[in-house]
Structure formats: structure tokens, C-alpha cells
Structure 1
Amino acid sequence: MSGLSRRSPVIADVRVRAGLTADGAKWRAAASALITGDEPVFAGHYPGFPIFPGVCVLECVTRGAELTSPEPAVLTGIESARFLGAVFPGDEIDIALEWTGRDGDWVCKAAVTVGSRKVGSVRLGYGVAA
């Protein structure tokens, strides 16, 4: 992203809850974000029944991944994203991250929950930063 500014519709603060730990060939970490009613996207998605858009959940996952990557890395692609449930104002999303090496690069899998409710799963590709 050299030279480009990064803008986001998400104001939530994504925090690391559990730092990176090795588990065999995998690295695990956890992050979370409190989604307050102040999120600008709630104004239009859906008035009277606000739902945090899936793309915003994806943004939180990407931020969590960037805060916990095993080494400096650059997002190369969203390999998959499934949204399984809604996120509402006041929900705290928990993001369980699992990093695995792949051909000199990285794959980050994330499971997103609100309490015991599954709300999404994401797989991101990362290249080692030069």
C-alpha cells in the first residue's frame, strides 16, 4: 500500500486479547472489538434495525491479523469469507486467529464469534513484507 492512504468505515478499536503463541506449525492469537452504536455504517445499514455489515467484520479481522502476524507481512488476498450471523450495536466480536506458513508466505484463518454465536470465518493470504 505504499503511497496510498488507508481509509476505513470502522471506528471500533481492535485489541489483541492473546498474543501470538506457537502450536506446532501453527501460530495462534486472539483479538476483539466492541461494536458500539456510534459506528457510522449503522446510519444506513439498516435504519431502525442496525446490522454491522460483513465487510466491516472483515475489516476487524484484517486489523486483528495485522496486529498479530508472526513477521511483517502484506495482505495479498481474501481467500474466503463466510458470514454466519449478524453483529449488532453493543456486540463484542471475538476473533480467533490461526497463522500457518505456506510456500514462504502466510495464511491467516479467523473464526469470529459473539459470545457463543458464530458470526463468520475468514481466510486471508499474506506475503512476507520486503
Structure 2
Amino acid sequence: MTLFEQAWRVPADHPAFAGHFPGHPIVPGVVLLDRVAQMAQRLRGGPLAGWQVTQVKFLSPCGPDDELVFALRDGARGGLAFSVHCGDREVASGGLLPPAP
């Protein structure tokens, strides 16, 4: 079951495109992970200190003006699973794990 979902249109002038890659811009994975972390912080109500990113797969590139849909759901060991889609295409997936007690 999806706990949180949010769409984001990638700005054509996003600063990451300057170096990734000129002439054929694609969204770097770190930008996608940053969006996931922001959503997870809103869902959990605060910083994710000590959380780990696990089993991340970048499956399909996306670029300027693409509309991406980020979804978070309950994951293993009290964590969160995430997926990113662009239309019918899965762009990325993975998990976030809280620190061990």
C-alpha cells in the first residue's frame, strides 16, 4: 500500500544538467535520491539521521520536463520502499532502512 505519492516535473533548467550530460541531459541518481529523502522526512516527521539507502536500482534515464511520480510504501525492517516512474516506465526503485536499535 502506498503511504505517500508525489509528482515532480523535472525543471529544464535544473543545475544538475550543466554537468550531466551537456547535449544529452539526464537526471542524476543523486537528485532522485534527494527527492526520495525529502518525501521520507515529511512522511516520518523529521530528519532521517542514521538511515541507509539500500538496494537502489536506476532502471531508465529521465530528463528535462519529464513528469516523475515518486511513491513510498512500508518496507522491510521498519523502513520504506520507494519507486519512481515516468509514465509507464520505472525509473528507479530501492529502500531506506532506519538505524538498528
Shorter-chain TM band: 0.7 to 0.9
Q: Could you say which residue in structure 1 is the equivalent of 2:7?
A: 32
Larger Rg: 1
**Alignment TM-score, normalising by the size of structure 1:** 0.67
CA RMSD in angstroms comes to 2.1
Between the two proteins, the alignment pairs up a number of residues equal to 99
Matches within 5 A, 1:1-130: 28-69=3-44, 72=46, 74-75=48-49, 76-100=51-75, 102=77, 106-127=78-99
**Distance in 2 between residues matched to 1:100 and 1:93, nearest whole Å:** 21
Runs of 4+ with deviation above 3 angstroms: none
The residue type equivalent to 2:92 in the other structure is G
1:60 and 1:38 mapped to 2: Cα distance? Answer: 17
Tell me, which stretches of 5 or more residues in structure 2 are unaligned?
Answer: none
Task: Show CA shifts across 1:52-108 (max 9, x none).
Answer: 111111111111111222x54624111221000011000111011102473xxx311
The structure with more helix, counted as a fraction of residues: 2
Q: Structure 1 or 2: larger strand share?
A: 1
Q: Which runs of 5+ in 1 are unaligned?
A: 1-22
Q: TM-score, normalised by structure 2?
A: 0.84
- Code of the residue aligned with 1:116 in structure 2: it is D
Q: Distance in 2 between matches of 1:100 and 1:54?
A: 20
The residue type paired with residue 126 of structure 1 is P
Identity across matched positions, percent? 31
